[in-house]
Chains A and B, each alone.
Chain A
Amino acid sequence: MGFTDWLNPVKGFGVTFHHMFKKPLTVQYPEEKRPTAPRFHGRHQLNRWPDGLEKCVGCELCAWACPADAIFVEGADNTEDARFSPGERYGRTYQINYLRCILCGLCIEACPTRALTMTNEYELADDSRESLIYTKEMLLAPLGPGMETPPHPMRLGETEEDYYRLGRNNG
Chain B
Amino acid sequence: MGLEEKIPSGFLLSTVEALAGWGRKNSVWPATFGLACCAMELMTAGSPTYDLARFGMERASATPRQADLMIVAGRVSQKMAPVLRQIYDQMAEPKWVIAMGVCASSGGMFNNYAIVQGVDHVVPVDIYLPGCPPRPEMLMDAIVKLHDKIQNTKFGAHRAKQIDELEKRALRSLPLIQQGAS
Contact = CB atoms under 8 A, between A and B. Distances in A.
A125 B99 CA distance: 10
A26 B47 CA distance: 9
Nearest to B109: A68
Interface stretch (B13-21, B57-65, B81-89, B132-140): B132-140
B54 A28 contact: yes
Interface in A124-143: 124-130, 132-133, 135-137
Contact of B106 (A92, A99, A104, A122): A99
Nearest to B147: A30
B74 interface: no
A126 B141 CA distance: 10
Interface residues of B, number: 35
Contacts of A133: 176
20 contacts: A24-B48, A26-B48, A26-B54, A28-B54, A30-B140, A94-B182, A99-B128, A102-B109, A103-B131, A122-B131, A122-B134, A122-B135, A122-B137, A123-B137, A125-B127, A125-B128, A129-B105, A129-B106, A129-B120, A135-B181
Interface of B: 48-51, 54, 102, 105-109, 111, 118, 120, 126-132, 134-135, 137-138, 140-142, 144-145, 149, 173, 176, 181-182
